[in-house]
Each structure stands twice: as structure tokens, then as C-alpha cells.
A and B are shown apart, each in its own frame.
Chain A
Amino acid sequence: MQYLHTIGLEVHVQLKTETKMFCGCGTVYGAAPNTNVCPVCLGYPGAMPVMNRNAVRDTILTGLMIGSEISTYSKFDRKSYFYPDMPKNYQITQYDKPFCVGGSVEVDLEGQKKLIAITRIHLEEDVAKSMHFHKSSGVDFNRAGVPLMEIVSEPDMQNAEEAFAFLQALRQIVRYVGVSDCNLEEGNMRCDVNCSVRPEGQTELGTKTELKNLNTLKGVYNAIKYELGRQVEVLSSGGTIQQETRCWDVDAGVTESLRSKENAHDYRYFPEPDLMPVVLTAKQIEDWRKELPELPRHRRERLVLEYGLPDYAAGVIVADKHVADYYEEAAALVSNPKAVSNWIMTEMLRLLGEREMDIEDVKITPAALAGIVKLVDSDAINSTKAKEVFAELFDNGGDPEKIVKEKGMGQVSDQSAIEELVDQAISENVKSAEDYKSGKKAALQYIVGQVMRLSKGKANPKMVGAMISEKLG
């Protein structure tokens, strides 16, 4: 029997606001344990939450980006459960009045586009981090209270590949809005998965399980693959699926039951009395809409049209918003924007990868890269020297023209100077000259190479080649 798969995701994204969701503590990752804390985020007696307006804006920008409807009336609620990483033993979250409702994310599945519908986006506070030692456990409250945006998808995905593509597309969008780094290693993007299977022909969805502890994109992919397979196996052998929460065991590569439906928490949601409902005016929402960046897929299409880039190149450039910003700034300064994309896709991304750097941190400015492109286009330097200039600017910054002058990298295109070197090379390599004359075309390149060596790489190789073949022809 064939089975249909259904997958929905709940994605938690930490917002990179300067302060926490409900207090003035900083949010810098990696601080010494329990240093970014105060009575509010430690749940001390008498402390009260105050809403971080920037976190609300970030959430609504994300919603606007994916076409959500923004609620003019939202509120926060208390969600009760006891756990050592919960300072108040309730979490301030949004239950029935989230900031954003609806929307969708487009994913690209080997050329096929598909829209994954979004149910809602709400805002809540992150919990602390439990640490387990040999004989005791500790809690680091630095993370407690960091703004957390939860994006819930509809059960629109049918396999692990779609879920993977959805997460990538969502991450790209959130990074474009600039509200989170979505760095999985630092835990600022986390994901729970709901999945079920049902026999083909059955309309109602099968019993679902919820998967937790998915800390990497690969983990999400592998866990879904495993869990769907497990469910099909259970059903095929006549068993039934239990509604339960399952935990992904990375090392064993299996999901394991964490708790059953009977033991599910009763979270006892009710409106948070310490915070007032959030009422937004249409004008406020429109003002935020004006701050929105272009969607990555729209930008990709525009780069193809506006700069004549191949679709693949445009895709590489827009993958990171900062790279795309950099590209457009440089491309606007040259008549050959494709050359800029070649530089970025080769030298730039290679060096960024080698040095584990972000494009915001490089010393070479978009104007300087445009300068290199112009120097090459006007034959002022050859491509070998251009790479040296690029490397120099990448590390130290500066003006490409000035570097070319200072280091004497300028291309020699002077007829008589080149002729002198060509004559010298021919006389020093009589054998190769004879080979060329007798029809061995490859010998020409060898002599060109000798001229380049004599010129310390500065001779215009096109002119050199033409002159040698003329002299020996």
C-alpha cells in the first residue's frame, strides 16, 4: 500500500534585539553564565515584565514579509508548566491573539515552485538553559527572556526534502528582514516537527507525532525521514500510531517516545495581567511595511532582468542579503555588471569561506571592486594582476588604482617595449621558435609565457601573442 505523508513545522527564531523581551538585560551570546540577568528575567518576587517594542516590530516585519495579516489587537498570555529552565514556571507567550496570522513561504524544489502556508507568527520569551554536570545540574538564565518568534506552518509539506527547503527559504527571509541571524549552532533557530502518514485514498490525516530536539537542518531532515518510515512500518504491520511527543536521538539516528498524549501538559493559558493588550494602528503597520526589504525571490528575478545575470548567478548572489546589497552597490558603478558577479562568485566567496568571514567585514569596498573591474576592462591590468590587487584590497582595503601604480602592476601595452622583450625571448628560445614555424602551435604559448616572465607579468598578453605570431609567421 502507498502512504501519503504530512508534515508541519513550528520554527522558533531568536530575535537579535539589544535587550531581552521583558527587561533591560543584554542578549549577547556567549557571556559568562548568569551575567545577563535581573530580577525580571530571574522571576524574582515582585518583578514585572515590560514589553520590548523592537521585538514586536521585528515580528510584524517578518509577518509582512511573508504576507501575513497583522492583528490590530494582540495580547500576551501565560502558559504554565514547571521546569527548572522556566524562571516563573510560566512562559509569557501569545495564545489566541498572535501578532501575525496567515501568509506563505515559496520554496523551490528542483525548479518546481511550491507555496507553504503559514498559520501564524507569535512572540514569546525564551527559557533558560539547563546544564548537567557529573553530580549536579545548573541553570544559565542568560537566555531566559530573549525574544523568541514562533512561526507555525500549515501541514503543507509531504517529505523531508520539502521541509528542508522550507526551512532554508524561511531562514533566508528572516535574515533578509534582518531580525535574526538564524544561527542553528548558537541555537537562535530551533524547530519542532509534526508529522503523520495515511494510506492513499484516505482523506482525514493520520495520527500525528511531534518531534523535538532538532538542532540542525540535517537533523530535521533525518528525523523526518526516520519518523515517516517508522510510521509507515507500524501501519503496514497492522499497528496504530500513538499521538505522542518523540525525541530525536542524533547518535542513534532514531526517534524515541518522550511523553504520550495522556501525559500532555495542560498549559492553562490565560491573558497575562501584567501586560496591556497591544493595539496597533493601520498607520503604524503601514509605516513598518515601508521598512520592508525586497523578498529574496523577487530580488533574484530583478537581478536577472536588470543586470543580465544568469538565473543561477542571481541565485548565488541573493542567497545572502548582504552579498546582494554589496553586489548591487558595485554593479551600479560599472558598465559590465556581470564581471562584478564573477568576482563575487569566485574570489570573494572563496576568500570569505577560507577566512570564515561575512561580507560586512571585508576591507574591500564595493567601489574598490568596481574599480578593479574597470581597470581590467580598460586593459590597464591583466587578470592575473587583478587577482593580486583583489587579494591586497580584501585584507587591507584601499584604492585599486593607487595600488596598481605603487606596485607597478600596470599592464605594459607599449609597442616598442613589448617588441624588445619579444625579440629577446625569441633569441633565447630558438628551438621553440623553430617548432612554432614548423606548425607546433602550442610552442607559441611557451614563448608568450617567457615574455610575461621577462615583463614580470605586466605585458599585455594579447599584444604579446599577436606580435610573436606576426614575427614568426
Chain B
Amino acid sequence: MDFDKITVCGALELMEKGECSSEELVSGLLGVIDSKDGEIGAYLSVDHADALEQAREADRKRANGESGRLLGVPIAIKDVLNVKGQACTCASQILKGYISPYDATAIAMMRKEGAVFLGRTNMDEFAMGSSTENSSCQITRNPHNMDCVPGGSSGGSAAAVAGGEALAALGTDTGGSIRQPAAFCGCVGLKPSYGRVSRYGLVAFASSFDQIGPMTRDVRDSAHLLGVISGQDDMDSSSLNLPVPDYVSMLKDDLKGVTLGLPKEYFVDGMDDEVRASVMKAVDVCRGLGAEITEVSLPHTDYAIAVYYIIATAEASTNLARFDGVRYGFRAEGVTDPIDMYGKTRSQGFGDEVKRRIILGTYVLSSGYYDAYYLSAQKVRTLIRRDFEDAFKKCDALLTPTTPTPAFKRGDKSDDPLQMYLCDIFTATANLAGVCGISVPCGKSSDGLPIGLQLLGPEFKEENILRTAYAYEQGRENG
């Protein structure tokens, strides 16, 4: 079996035909992990025995005539999602020892369809970062170049899929954390519209931005997994009660009747030439498939990063307040009273970037600063939302680069938070506006590093970007 290539849908087909069992699939992947993950470092933990037992259980079910949309399919899970009985550390020391007492809703939905939870993938601590260098646990390397970062914060998930260590993974995206590492590692990463997938059980970074999404080897798998995890959830008030379409059946080989918009603010002077060339080549492919291409404008794009870092850190500063050593996780030794316990536990338990964002978020919400920062940022957020509404009156999806550059070298930006924050420049707007986005590979740089094409679609129109991405993927291969 070629573990670098096999897809979720491909594996399901093989298992249905009886050409392979889930146990064979999982033990094969465990073998790859054993041989490669020492170098790549995608996984924080893999419980071999448990994964194999889940696989055998899936095989028994299939033998009994049971079915499931993910029956026997091994999936890697970002360490930010609660899986009952497993550790969930968010790659932070502060959650050391915490064992999830419950399943996140997305996990429960996948479990119901028979998925095998293979292991937990590395990430930037509490999903704060764009290179996975902020993990407090280990380094994750980009399988395409071991000196480069895999992107972040879902860097472990992207590296696992790209490195042949998983068929697919779940990631989370707050400002680009699925799409950016997918672009860096050459896989497909989808951020659903805000409210499409329940956030219940996702350890919150920024509640009004976070979404769970699939990271896969092709667009079809992305559509398939999105169909499993989408839908309204009583446990998440921000999930919307809208029917979930059969995304896979809506994939088409052509783009006839589809209008794609190129936002001029995303094609600026000074962007990486190879990235620009690859994306423009993708535009030609889409045109060749029948798409109409038009230029659009998202005039408030310049403010996106500032607005994003104000609102996201404000939310994060409260979301992370619960990690205090009282009820679970790490508690500092030798404390004298509750205040001392909070201070020491949080000083020792959180890494630098997390502390930086907690302090930023605390500051922007402070009395006397709230209006100038948080409130103003919310107003601009509304303007950014309107930019997208206006743009989508003229087109079905927007086409942009996912990132300004391909993957960079480890250490290049880790000392300069501002440079790191700018990695999210093309992706964070989608989270601000609540729209959906997908990154698909669109070629490689001269250094052999993947480049990502981003498609952004209106809220709850995942079928638009999936169809476009799928047709492009087919056209790219044939072209």
C-alpha cells in the first residue's frame, strides 16, 4: 500500500471490496509513524494498541454488515480537540495530566461513522502561532524540507498527512491555522464557515473565529469529511441549523457558469514571485475549465491583521483564564495562597507567545482602552464582513494565494512576532468575516516547497469552494 498517496475515499473503497482491512491499514500507518515520525515529529502521542483495537472493532462491524461513512478510516486529531479518555494538552505544559472526560461533537460524529482515532498531532501552544514552533512539546518538520516549518498552528496535522503518516487529519483554524500549514505542506485544508461545524469540545482560542476542519490529500476527501462533521449542535449555540448538503455529489469536473473574483488587495507589489506565478497559472487553469474571472476589491483588507489580533487576543485572554491549577492540569508547587497559585501556575505553565497574547487581550479590554481597541476593532470587523458580502455579489468564490511565501526556515521568524503574525495576512480575513475557505496545492517553488491556492466562498457555501477546488485539482493534474 502506498501510504503517501492513499486517500480516505480510496481506503473506504478498498475496505468495502474486502481488499484490505482497517487493521492492515492502521498497522501499516503505525509502521510509517514508527519509521518517520522520529524525524518529522507530527504526533505528540500515538497509542498503538488502542488504535489497533479501534481498527479491529471497525473490521468486526463491517463483517457484521454494519456500515459507516468513516468505518475503519484512521484519522489524526489535532491536540486541541477533546477525545474521551485521551490526553488533550494543546501542546501546553499547563494541561499536563488532563484527560478528556468527553468527546468533542465533531469527534462524536466521526466516532458514530466508525472512524479510528490514530493519534494526537502537534500544534502551536493553544493554536497560537503560524509555524508550530510555539509547541511546548517538540519540533515538527516540514516533510518537503526538514529545515522548514510545517506552518501552524495545525502543523502536526499537515505534516502527518503530507508525510504519509495519516490519510487525513482534523485541524482547527482561527486565523489560517488549517489553510496555512496545508499550503506549506502541500495538502488540502478546509476552514468551514463559522457555525458550520460545532465547536463544542474544541479548546477555545478565539471563540468568534475558531472552526474545526479537515486536512486531506485531495478535495474529494475534504468534501467527504466535511459532510460527516457538519451540522447544528445543541451544545454549541453558534452552530447554525442549516441542512448539510451532500458535498461529494456536488463536485464537478468543470467550472462552467462559475465566476471567480480576484481581490486586488491580495495581489500586491512585493509578494513572492513564485507564489504569484503559481496562482496566476491556477487562474488560467480555472479559466480553461470554463470559469469567468473578474477583479474585485476588499477595501478594508489592510486593517485585517490589526483587527484580528485585537479581537482574537481579547477572547483568548478570557478563554485561557480557566487554566489556573484549581481543577485539572498542571499546578505549580510550593504556593502559599490562591493568587500565588495562579501566578506561579500560569507563569510556569504557559509559553511566551501565549502569555504575550493573554497580556495583549487583557490590555485591549481594560477600562479606558476598550473603546479605542476592542470596540473600534469590532466596527472594522463589520466593514470587513461587508467587503465580502459586496464581493460575493459579483462572484461565486474568491481566488487568492493562501500565504505570501512558501514555507520558511525554522527560526527565521520565531524571534519576530510581527513577521510571524503577517503569515496570516491572506487567511485571517475569512475568520473575521465568518466565510469559508480552502487551500489546495498549486505547484511548487524552485526549492521544491509547495505553494497553496486559496478559494474563499460565501458563508455556508462550502459547495462553491469545494467544486472550484475539485475542478482545479482535476484540471491541474490533466493540464
Contact = CB atoms under 8 A, between A and B. Distances in A.
Chains A and B come from one and the same complex: yes
Contacts of A268: 317-318, 362, 365-367, 370
A87 B236 CA distance: 19
Contacts of A139: 326
A159 interface: no
Interface string A246-288: 0000000000000000000010111001111000000000000
Interface string B309-330: 0000011011001111011100
Contacts of B204: 46, 48, 274
Given A82-B321, A84-B326, A87-B327, A270 B235 contact: no
Given A39-B101, A39-B102, A273 B208 contact: yes
B237 A50 contact: yes
Given A48-B199, A80-B318, A270 B374 contact: yes
Contact of A89 (B102, B236, B322, B367): B322
B237 A275 contact: yes
A46 B203 contact: yes
B301 interface: no
Interface in B374-426: 374
A303 B322 CA distance: 54
Given A83-B338, A139-B326, A46 B104 contact: yes
Nearest to A139: B326
B374 A46 contact: no
Interface residues of A, number: 29
A42 B328 CA distance: 10
Interface in A173-231: none
A51 B234 CA distance: 10
Interface size class of B (residues with CB under 8 A): 35 or more
A208 B11 CA distance: 71
Contact of A90 (B81, B88, B321, B370): B321
Interface SS of A by simple majority: loop
Interface string B189-209: 000000000011111101110
B238 interface: yes
A47 interface: yes
B237 A45 contact: no
A45 B90 contact: yes
Contacts of A80: 317-318, 321, 365
A398 interface: no
B342 interface: yes
Contacts of A87: 322, 327
A49 interface: yes
Contacts of A266: 366-367
A156 B314 CA distance: 37
Residue of A82, A88, A139 contacting most chain B CB atoms (<10 Å): A82
Interface of B: 81-82, 88, 90, 95, 98, 100-102, 104, 199-204, 206-208, 234-238, 314-315, 317-318, 321-324, 326-328, 338-339, 342, 362, 365-367, 370, 374
11 contacts: A45-B98, A50-B237, A78-B318, A80-B318, A80-B365, A82-B342, A268-B370, A269-B365, A270-B318, A274-B204, A276-B237
Given A46-B203, A84-B326, A273-B208, 9 more contacts: A45-B90, A47-B102, A50-B236, A80-B317, A82-B321, A82-B324, A88-B318, A88-B321, A274-B238
